[in-house]
Chains A and B, each alone.
Chain A
């Protein structure tokens, strides 16, 4: 055991001891001479008595010297460098992390009651020096408090906690525990894992090791023979009979447990009314699809539920969904007045086959186009027609800038006079020249931007081949600055160009769509290409019928068809109110990333504008628990513990801690400098008292 110093240079400060010594040697030795009548007697005193023992007030000097020495030593940050660190230094305080599983499987039977009791007992067992962090985890983990020994606060947190609708993932939770324990400076570390040890929650690929010396205490609240039947999902099939949409729904029922479930009743509820019922037998480890009869679909968004007879885990016995009647996207196709009607054949047919979404095609001659034709539409197609002029042109400008889409298909009738003067700069220059490649086998599209939404579906192998189409003629087009060339011909000329204008977009296709300048309309790729371009320009985003709890979604996609909703950019709109299934209300403001919402509960979320009155049409989001959680197969706790156990044992912890402790850490733990400073202060107090007393005596 050696005495060390973190900042030994400060020991040089001990040289200040010379100051009081000098002061005491020279103190009160006046520079001015004392005149005395005669030195005849002083001369007789032996000289040694004059020179020796000049230090006065030895106690005062010793106090001052000792105070300076203590202060200098304190600044040098002393520490005892011991080979092993005893409890006095390490202490017995524990860093405890209580991991409490609140996935919805913990709602099975009395699991949650057991888990809650175990958490309370763990909290009751903490000592005043311990620090406890409560980590609640599902498929993500959250430390709900800073490390504390406040039992009341911890008990209150446990009492408030309930199982959620999310699934189980041990990985994030264990990583959080490891980080907390790693950051701890307490000598003992402990993790208490309270869970039902669901197998699907553990990914063996996750490599999470607890810090050395961590004691892991598993508290298993699961049961080996747990059985559960759940509604895993639904499938829709919308059809029309006599112009009335009908919905055919199929529900998938799973029984992952070891026990067969016979005669389970499955009900379909629409807007809270049970409309159909089926009975299903499910052997152990099986799944069945229950098909309900087609039912008329209301002409408004509708809530639906597929409900099973409740079992010990009722959370996944209910599956919620929303279904909306199809809303065709209106498209205005502007054709040249002199163009034959059958020029539109291929485009019209391609759009008419659209089902997701359907397209409502409205053809107008360029001379007949009125501003009113652009109200409420999703997209405009200039089919070899010039850009409208006058008021209609300005309306079209505004339509695009406000988020609308414009597809310009160039052709033999669109040349130099294609654009108005105002739009030339922003939409590029269309030359009167036509590139003619009739002499050979024609050109091909050789460069495609597969990262763009229009071409993204064709990026995978065998997802569509544009190279089969031959292009014999196309307009020479000079794209404006800032435009994106999405496709080029093999000679480098642009084939498809996108230009962002305001909130909207304009796409220019430099060849035609009439099977005269190219044979693309005859290629299989034509139909999906037209649909993708129309969806993209119309700002169409499909709305999921249901979501999984625990996910974050942008609810803007659910509001595009609402009168009060955003057309394409939700952040430009007013604040919205989100009503949660449990009755909570959140006000959502627009953000850069749209309107993200964490769907933490299962049930129906309702979205409406903050300033809306009664009767406004709301948007509804159906949220269901993670179906993977329905599988209650257990993981052997020893397997998990073996995977996460620290490599070093508890006995090695102290030794490794002693070795790992830096001198700074040792010094901080020992804190000797506090005692030295305290001693110095006491000495200085005594010095003050003694000096005052001596001063009074001298005076």
Chain B
């Protein structure tokens, strides 16, 4: 029953992203990661008067100096890590040969992962980018709704590019974070790895969801037609049957290179067929990640 609702086409009809994320995530046991910090929370919530029995280490001495009264710091909750979604919203993400586009699929995926992370008490944030950063919601324990709202408002547009926006992300993310990149990765593998390595070298844990429409892999087109690049609007006449095999070869080479390079850089790399149910993708990925964690 649940699986039926996790079909991307069905999910597409659920407008509330939180509900969507909950629908998908509920039932998963394992988290995305082990928290790098133990028992500490960093998100301040409020002050309250000191009560006997309180840990005197939590007394805010600055407030005592100003008011001559003992106040204890209250924190929102305990958190484990920063979780930041890097969402590619270039025009190429608008493509979808079926009922759902890569953008929508990525939107559901980002919502699910954010929700999932929040349930693990992670601080969640999101960066949407195309050629440059479009929106930036810093990771915070209170930013889930903002993140979902941002995801909801995403509109694809403009040419894409990984290097420039990810460089800015690398510069702005100061704490070690769990970075989830959702993109179709229409860049040369060298460019992709150069951008990702900058993030990874700062100690961030990097997960890459490579969204692929089945038509991008199989190139099933039959009719001769002009093909238009969604990002550059460039057009070329294409006779699919004469190109198909070469296209597939090139695509397979591209995916193989990315897989090989990602593995070499110890980046979790997951190719996602957007025709498959979202929970299957999540489950496959989490089980694989579980195996990798044991190995590491």
By a beta-carbon cutoff of 8 Å, the part of chain A in contact with chain B is 26, 28-30, 32-45, 49-54, 56, 698
Contact = CB atoms under 8 A, between A and B. Distances in A.
B251 A41 contact: yes
Contact of B229 (A30, A36, A50, A52): A36
B243 A53 contact: no
A54 B225 CA distance: 12
B228 interface: yes
B223 A29 contact: yes
Contact of B242 (A38, A39, A44, A50): A50
B243 A43 contact: no
Contacts of A34: 221, 225-228, 238
Interface in B219-262: 221-232, 234-239, 241-243, 246-247, 250-251, 254
Contacts of B227: 33-36, 39, 42
A49 B247 CA distance: 12
B238 A42 contact: yes
A41 B230 contact: no
The 7 closest A-B pairs by CB, nearest first: A37-B92, A29-B224, A28-B223, A38-B186, A37-B95, A41-B250, A39-B229
A56 B229 contact: no
A35 B224 contact: no
B46 to A, nearest CB: 48
Contacts of B224: 26, 28-30, 54
A32 B230 contact: no
Tell me what chain B mostly uses at the interface: helix, strand, loop, or mixed. Answer: mixed
B122 interface: no
A36 to B, nearest CB: 5
- The interface centre, meaning the residue of A36, A39, A56 with most chain B CB atoms within 10 A of its CB, is A36
Interface of B: 92-93, 95, 102, 184, 186, 213, 216, 221-232, 234-239, 241-243, 246-247, 250-251, 254
Nearest to B253: A41
A698 B186 CA distance: 30
Contact of B225 (A29, A38, A53, A56): A29
Contacts of B93: 37
Nearest to B249: A41
Tell me what chain A mostly uses at the interface: helix, strand, loop, or mixed. Answer: loop
Contact of A38 (B231, B239, B241, B246): B231
Nearest to A28: B223
A405 to B, nearest CB: 102
- The interface centre, meaning the residue of A26, A35, A43 with most chain B CB atoms within 10 A of its CB, is A35
11 contacts: A30-B225, A34-B221, A34-B227, A35-B230, A38-B92, A38-B231, A41-B247, A45-B246, A49-B239, A49-B242, A50-B236
A33 B235 contact: yes
B228 A37 contact: no
Contact of A39 (B221, B234, B251): B234
Contacts of A43: 236
A30 B222 CA distance: 10
Contact of B228 (A36, A49, A51, A54): A36
A50 to B, nearest CB: 6
Nearest to A47: B236
Nearest to B221: A34
B95 A35 contact: yes
A54 B254 contact: no
B180 to A, nearest CB: 20
Contacts of A53: 239, 242
Contacts of B95: 35-37
Contacts of B241: 56
A27 to B, nearest CB: 8
B228 A33 contact: yes
A32 B221 CA distance: 14
A51 B95 CA distance: 26
A38 B229 contact: yes
Given A28-B222, A49-B246, A54-B224, A38 B230 contact: yes
Contacts of A42: 227, 236, 238, 243, 247
Nearest to B247: A41
Contacts of A40: 186
A34 B230 CA distance: 10
Contacts of B237: 50-51
Contacts of A56: 241
Given A39-B232, A45-B247, 18 more contacts: A26-B224, A30-B224, A30-B225, A33-B226, A34-B238, A36-B95, A36-B227, A37-B229, A37-B231, A38-B230, A39-B234, A41-B247, A42-B243, A42-B247, A44-B246, A49-B242, A54-B224, A698-B222
Contacts of B243: 42, 45, 49-50
A35 B228 contact: yes
Contact of B186 (A33, A37, A49): A37
Contacts of B225: 29-30, 32-34
Contacts of A698: 222
A20 B142 CA distance: 67
A39 B236 contact: yes
A419 B16 CA distance: 130
B184 A37 contact: yes
Contacts of A29: 223-225
Contacts of A39: 227-229, 232, 234, 236
B239 A54 contact: yes
Given A36-B95, A49-B242, A50-B239, A41 B254 contact: yes
A56 B222 CA distance: 11
Nearest to B240: A34
Nearest to B231: A38
Contacts of B226: 33-34
A54 B240 CA distance: 10
A42 B251 CA distance: 10
Nearest to B215: A36
A591 to B, nearest CB: 81
B50 to A, nearest CB: 60
Contacts of A49: 239, 242-243, 246
B66 to A, nearest CB: 58
Nearest to B237: A50
A338 B162 CA distance: 154
A26 B237 CA distance: 12
Contacts of B235: 33
A201 B247 CA distance: 100
Contacts of B254: 41
- The interface centre, meaning the residue of B231, B241, B242, B246 with most chain A CB atoms within 10 A of its CB, is B242
A667 B239 CA distance: 47
Nearest to B96: A37
A50 B92 contact: no
Contacts of A32: 225
A40 B231 CA distance: 11
Contacts of A51: 237
Nearest to A40: B186
B289 to A, nearest CB: 27
Contacts of A36: 95, 227-230
Contacts of A37: 92-93, 95, 102, 184, 186, 213, 216, 229-231
A56 B239 CA distance: 10
A29 B227 CA distance: 11
Contacts of B250: 41, 44-45
Nearest to A26: B224
A335 to B, nearest CB: 119
A243 B216 CA distance: 137
Contacts of A26: 224
- The interface centre, meaning the residue of A40, A44, A53 with most chain B CB atoms within 10 A of its CB, is A40
B114 to A, nearest CB: 25
A26 to B, nearest CB: 8
Contacts of B216: 37
Contacts of B221: 34
A268 to B, nearest CB: 111
Nearest to A25: B224
A256 B216 CA distance: 117
A133 B226 CA distance: 75
A55 to B, nearest CB: 10
B168 to A, nearest CB: 23
